[in-house]
Each structure stands twice: as structure tokens, then as C-alpha cells.
Amino acid sequence: MEKSAAVEQALASIDEARVVSLVQDVCRIPSVLGDELAFAQYLVDVMKDSSFTDVRLQDVLPDRPNAIGELDFGTGPRVVLTGHMDTKPESIGWTDTTPYSGELIDGHVYGHGIMDMKAALVCQIVAAEAVRSSGVPVSGRLAFAGVSDHMGDQLGSIRYFDEYSADLCVLGELSDNEIYLGHRGRYYFDITAQGKSAHTCHKPLAVNANMLAAKAILELDASRLTPELEPWVRDLFGEETYMAPGRVYGGLPPGGPSMIPDECVIRLDCRPQPGVSVETVRAELDRCLDAVKAADPRFAARVELADVKSGYVADPHSLVVETMVDAVQQVRGTEPTLQAAGWLGDTASFGDTIPTVIFGPGGEPVYCPNERLSVADIVEATKVYTAFATLALLT
């Protein structure tokens, strides 16, 4: 079957009213990190009612499963549509409605976490239904995985792709319905400034770790690391590897004794472009700390690498990217641009083995009062997922 005709037939099978209604439903289910169970059960129920196969709650953490299912069209490639169920805590300051109302107001569905990424999950399921009901000749498996713990250690994605593989994958992170090739990574370093404690009355005998940490914070914040990158990667992500002192743990607890602290911990949050090694970032960190010590010989610090999440970038000429480009063209009739994100996606944990492209509705700002997504964007995302799956499985 000619691909344009096949896509057109599949798009005509999308139940637009259903996708909007389901998005409203999921916006009424809180799923803050650690509380994904109710949302997972809802998605499993939707897939069971829609006669998906291998539908189940996949164990990840206690009461924090994945929601998985698939459609079997016979022998062929395995295509996975995936995204995370967990959200950040709800924002204060809502005025138009409440965070979990799921209300439809002036062509927009309102809900906490709708853009990151409750709507995309529903769009993916309805897209799979459209491919099946269209009667287009496809072959292979079309799978769905709503995963938990994205904002933790990405254990949901790790668990899913430990059990299943994929020939092509779409991660539904918010991309404003544009094609993202990838995202930056995240390295956490814990820097413990070490001073000398004493009673506050004996200040001359002490070296205040908080003061030393403050000097390090200023030096680290002033860093402008611009590592060597391939030109096309630099064009996508920018030239600077961002480093920011994100959290500070120091001093004494409220009501604590009168004492000058001898330790203060700085959590350095680094966001490297794909291809920038831990060693490169560590060398810049050490340069900053050496500069602090040169200015104040009392400075001493212990550095620990606390967490590593890799960046990800797909080859622009890979099958998964070319299929998504074709899908967007089929839906919009225009050539899409290829972009990249600064945030961290689950592809940090599986992108090295699973060919993945990122596409989803919603964009900045996110996790703010009155978070909403237009019906037009929800429908367009569903169309693109439908077109992608049709093209990937077309016989």
C-alpha cells in the first residue's frame, strides 16, 4: 500500500473525542514521583478494555509499577511508544481551575503534569488504536510502556528495556510537537568543603566551612566550560556545558548548638552535551577548586561523583529519525526542523541500545500554575504518533 494513502487511512481512524476525554481523565489522577500506582492501573485498564495484549503492571518498585501492553500484527519490527507517568509536586497559585480538575476551558485541557507527560501517554495509546482500527496492512508489534521513576533513577525505563527490546522507539517527552534528536546529560558532584570547628565564642580558632563553600560556589558559578564538540552537536546543543551549584548542605540545624561548622556540602549540577565525558567536567571542577585554594590556602574539599546520567543524541540519518521526519511531513505537509533539549530524558538510561526519537506535545513553561495544553496540540501529537507507527510497520 502506498505510504501516503496508508497514513491518510490511519489518520482518519483517530477518535479525537476519545483522546481528549482520556487526557482529561488522566489529569484527574495524581502521580507525583513515588505515587504512580493509580495512574498505572488506569492505563492498564484502558488497554485491557481496548483488547491490547500482554497488558499488565510490570513490577519496578513496591507499588510503583510500569503500565505496559502491545498490539500484535504478526512478524515484523517491534515499535515502542513510551513515556513516564511520574510528575513533580503540584504548583501553588492556580487560579483558572484546580491542578487535578482536567477541565476543558477555551480549547485547552488543564491539569498538573499534562505536558510532562500525561497527554503524550494517552496520545500514544489512541494512536495505536487508530493503526489497528484503520485496517492498514501493517506487520510487527506496536508496544506501549508508561514508566515510573523517571524523576528518580529512571528505574521504570531500565526495567522495561531489560525485558523488552525495540527496533524503533518514540519517547513522548514535551517537544512542542517538534522532533528532538536528544538531550543533555546530568552529572552530579558532591563537593564537601572542609573547615575547622569551634564554639562561636572562639571564632579565631575556627575555619568556617560555610565561608569556604561560599567561595567555591562563586568560582563554580562563574565557570564557562566549552569542550570540543562535533560541529553538528554544538549547533544542536550550544557550546557551553552548564555547571551550577544547585544545593548546599551546611551549618547547623535550627535549635542546634553554638558552633562554627567544619563541613558544608555543595551539590554541583552539570548538564553536559552528548559526548562530554565525566573526566572533562571533573577537570573543570578541579580547576575551579584550585583557583579557590590559590586565593585562600585554608580551602580544602573532598569531591565525590554522586550520579551520572548520559546525554543522548540520535543520528539525524537513522531510520527512527527519518521515519519521524516522514510522519511529521505527512501530518503537516512541511519539512520539520531537528532540535534538541536541555532537560534529561529516559533515553539517558536506554538510548545507547534502543534507536529513539523524541516527540511530544507541550513545552516551556511547565510545572507552573494553570498548566494546560491545547486540544489542537493533543490531536496533532496523536496524528504524528499514528503516522509514525503506520510508516514503521507498513508492509
Q: How far apart are CA 158 and CA 367, in angstroms?
A: 25
Write down the architecture of domain 3-183+311-393 according to CATH: 3-Layer(aba) Sandwich (3.40)
**Helix 278-295 with 209-221: angle, nearest 10 deg:** 120
Q: What's the confidence (pLDDT) of residue 374?
A: 98
Q: Give CA 311 to chain center in angstroms.
A: 11
Once rounded to an integer, what is the mean pLDDT over residues 155-183?
98
Burial class (CB in 10 A: 0-12, 13-18, 19+), 375: middle
Three-state SS for 40? helix
CA angle (77 as vertex; 180, 127 as ends), nearest 5:
55
What percentage of residues in the chain have a pLDDT greater than 70? 99
Residue type present at position 220:
L
Q: What's the confidence (pLDDT) of residue 352?
A: 95
Does residue 188 carry a pLDDT above 90?
Answer: yes
Mean pLDDT of the chain: 97
Q: How far apart are CA 157 and CA 155, in angstroms?
A: 6
Instruction: Report DSSP letters for 73-87, one per residue.
Output: -SSS-EEEEEEE--B
Q: How far apart are CA 312 and CA 348, in angstroms?
A: 6
Cβ(63)–Cβ(179) below 8 Å: no
Once rounded to an integer, what is the mean pLDDT over residues 6-18?
98
Does residue 254 carry a pLDDT above 80?
Answer: no
- Domain map (residue ranges) of the chain: 3-183+311-393, 186-309
Q: What's the confidence (pLDDT) of residue 125?
A: 98
Sign of the C-alpha dihedral computed for residues 130, 133, 134 and 140 taken in this order = positive
In this predicted model, what pLDDT tens digit does every residue of 108-164 receive, in sequence order? 999 999 999 999 999 999 999 999 999 999 999 999 999 999 999 999 999 999 999
In this predicted model, what pLDDT tens digit does every residue of 56-110 receive, in sequence order? 999 999 999 999 999 999 999 999 999 999 999 999 999 999 999 999 999 999 9
Tell me which H or E stretch contains 246: strand 242-250
Domain 186-309 has CATH 3.30.70.360: yes
Once rounded to an integer, what is the mean pLDDT over residues 195-208?
94
